[in-house]
Amino acid sequence: MKARARRARAAGWLVLVAGAVVAAPPAARAQGAPAGAQPATTSAQGAPAGTQPATASADAAQASRDADAAFARGKELYRLGKLDAAYEAYRTAWSLKQSYDIAANLANTELQRGMKVEAAEHLAFCLRSFPATGNAAQHEQIRSQFRAVRKEVGSIVIQANVEGAAVSIDGAAVGRTPFRHEVFVKPGSIVVEARLAGHEPSRVTLEVPAGETNTANLVLLPQREQPAPPAPPPPLRVEAPAPAPREGADAGGPRPEVLIAGGAVAGAGVIAGVVLTVLAVGRDGDADTQREALVRDDGPAACASDSPRCAALRDELEGAADLKSAALWTFVGAGAMGLATGAYALWAPRASRPAVVAAPVVTAGGGALVIQGAW
């Protein structure tokens, strides 16, 4: 009985192990740990070592499954005659996984859409990656398609003296150096340009006939450091010698500018006083005219009560009085300025002062006149 129970338990364990193996994902079974492998160690955070490679492998497996689904969808759409939709499905599959069968079907739809350059590129990839055990008839069909489209497109072999340079053909980016394979282009004049930081750009223009291959040799030279601009020369300064002051050139006394300024202010005050007096007399005359009109129209007691005409008369009289007051004080100020100027002229100090000296200065940027002295 005990032996029978032990055999039953062993059979149960075998069933469990077989079920686990069958349930495991294909990728996990394909990547099973080799015999004798050590148990996975844990990092400081507790995650088992190799988590990132496992995640990357899982992402790659998912991308492969998505590519297979898009590829199958493209074949079904092509069978239904929906060429454009099939092309988009094949493009999706190609963006997720580059394989010879996806390249072949994508190239077939591109040929039917007139996309000869793209078809040549994918057919060339398919021929390079076609498995040795693949269908010989299918391989020959792809070779025939490539030979036909190759007669209608040109190709360029791109060579450069540095790696990592970004290359563009007619302004469209095609990759970075080095290029392992030729690049297919439309026949005609082609501009190939390469750029890399720290280097001068390199550009070549090629005439590429249909069915032929040309070579673009791109030489990128290191950028030369621009020399710093030379410092500008100091400005040329030429000064004329200042003449020595003449003895007795300025023996003190009243300064002319002070006398001129004082006289001018006094004269301006007198003129302003005269103008204000004339204006006051004019307003007085206007007030007398208004008063006579009021008396003539309403009698001597015309302004016993307020009226607009009486108010205008009062304003005119007040304005005349203000002008008279301003004229008086203007005359007073002008007289005071005149007296002060005269006093200065009589009692100004007579100490000798240096004479005023003027000297021209010439520079590379222009000239000037330097005046030295005291006032």
Compute mean pLDDT per 10 residues along the chain, 375 residues long, and list them: 42 34 33 34 43 80 94 95 95 95 95 95 95 91 94 96 95 94 95 95 95 94 81 67 54 70 77 82 80 73 68 77 82 78 72 53 53 57
Q: How far is CA 6 from the centre of its chain?
A: 81
In the chain, what's the furthest Cα-to-Cα distance? 158
Residue 264 confidence (pLDDT): 80
Say which DSSP state 352 is in: -
In the chain, % helix, strand, coil (3-state, to 5) comes to 50, 15, 30
Q: 0.75 exceeded by the pTM?
A: no
* Pair 106, 121: CB distance under 8 Å: no
- CA–CA separation, 93 vs 70, rounded Å? 5
* Pair 220, 202: CB distance under 8 Å: yes
In this structure, what are the phi and psi dihedrals at residue 282, rounded to the nearest 5 degrees? Answer: -60, -45
Q: Which is nearest to 86 in space by CA: 96, 72, 97?
A: 72
CA-CA distances (angstroms) from residue 199 to 191, 219, 264, 312? 19, 10, 76, 91
- In DSSP terms, 4 is beta-bridged to none
The residue behind tokens 């005439």 is 207
- Encoded amino acid at 68, one letter: D
- In DSSP terms, 155 is beta-bridged to 184, 213
Q: Which is nearest to 326 in space by CA: 286, 281, 273?
A: 273
Pairing of strands 366-372, 188-195: unpaired
CA-CA distances (angstroms) from residue 334 to 67, 173, 259, 263? 106, 89, 14, 9
178 upstream amide cis, omega within 30 of 0: yes
* Pair 290, 308: CB distance under 8 Å: no
- Cβ burial of 186 (10 Å; 0-12, 13-18, 19+) is middle
- CA–CA separation, 104 vs 78, rounded Å? 13
